Amino acid sequence: MTRGKLITFEGIDGCGKTTQLRMLERILTGRNIPFVSTREPGGTDLGKMIRAALLNVSPHSVDPLAELLLYAADRAQHVREFIAPNLAKGILVLSDRFYDATTAYQGYGRGFDLTLINQLNNLATGGLKPDVTLLFDLDVATGMERIHRRSGDAADNTTDAQADRLDREPLEFHERVRNGYLELAHQEPKRYRIIPASGSIETVRPLVTEALRGII
Ligand code: TMP
């Protein structure tokens, strides 16, 4: 059986990748294409606990090295329990973030050595790479504005809709993350598709289907 394809969605906080993933799900369902969707952190039961431990706590309470290792632990479980078995069954897997997020946030953002990050990513994934990575590229000010609008709307306490720990990092951190992602896209042009994400949901949607032509 041919292995399923892995499509990952990346970008700074507020870039709209999760909304676009949901739109793509509808398109795939309409075309009767079997798929599963998932996310990091939090794609497994263990991952949900790691996600809560990482994101729903006060700033500065997670040491940067502990943070790096927790994302890697989440990923190791996720690849082995969920992603690899689905790919082996020939199913298309959509993932809201994958190891590039560690390179962008913990590597470029926090400043961990990129060689170490690559080794850790490789260990966690067992060498598994996405077939396509969609990078939703957006200026940081717009991303942060979207996040804060969203958290203002979330007075009903849905924790994921509230500004989480990394969203509260300074603008320069998010600038480094954005530039890190662009650097990664530059290094792997075959795998990456850069999607300009400043437009409305409806403007960005056709860019996603266009970027995935020949894949779905
Ligand atoms: P999300 O809001 O896209 O679900 O991502 C949760 C946060 O976790 C987001 O601020 C990015 C961050 N993150 C990392 O810093 N490193 C990682 O490896 C992953 C997967 C996410």
Q: Note the pLDDT tens digit of each residue in 167-208.
A: 889 999 999 999 999 999 999 999 999 999 999 999 999 999
**Could you tell me the distance, in angstroms and rounded to a whole number, from the CA of residue 32 to the centre of ligand 1?**
30
Testing ligand 1's pocket by substitution, the residue of 70, 94, 97 carrying the most ligand atoms inside 8 A of its CB is 97
Taking the C-alpha atoms of residue 152 and residue 156, their distance in angstroms, rounded to an integer, is 10
Asked whether residue 1 is assigned to any structural domain, the reply reads: no
Asked whether residue 216 is assigned to any structural domain, the reply reads: no
Domain region containing 147: 6-211
Strands of 6-11's sheet, edge to edge?
A: 35-39, 92-96, 6-11, 132-137, 192-196
| CATH code at position 142 | 3.40.50.300
Task: Tell me what pLDDT residue 56 has.
Answer: 85
- Counted domains in the chain: 1
**Ligand 1: nearest atom to the Cα of 164:** 10
Asked whether residue 168 is assigned to any structural domain, the reply reads: yes
Model confidence band, residue 163 (pLDDT cutoffs 50, 70, 90): low
pLDDT at 161 over 60: no
Taking the C-alpha atoms of residue 107 and residue 100, their distance in angstroms, rounded to an integer, is 9
Taking the C-alpha atoms of residue 109 and residue 103, their distance in angstroms, rounded to an integer, is 8
Asked whether residue 21 is assigned to any structural domain, the reply reads: yes
Asked whether residue 132 is assigned to any structural domain, the reply reads: yes
126 contacts 84 by C-beta, under 8 angstroms: yes
Model confidence band, residue 158 (pLDDT cutoffs 50, 70, 90): very low
Average pLDDT over residues 122-151: 96
At 13, phi and psi to the nearest 5? Answer: -60, 135
**Could you tell me the distance, in angstroms and rounded to a whole number, from the CA of residue 42 to the centre of ligand 1?**
10
Taking the C-alpha atoms of residue 138 and residue 122, their distance in angstroms, rounded to an integer, is 28
Asked whether residue 78 is assigned to any structural domain, the reply reads: yes
Task: Tell me what pLDDT residue 151 has.
Answer: 80
SS3 for 92? Answer: strand
Give me the helix-helix angle, 114-125 and 64-78, nearest 10°.
Answer: 30
Name 38's bridge partners: 95
Model confidence band, residue 156 (pLDDT cutoffs 50, 70, 90): very low
Average pLDDT over residues 5-23: 98
Asked whether residue 116 is assigned to any structural domain, the reply reads: yes
At 212, phi and psi to the nearest 5? Answer: -100, 10
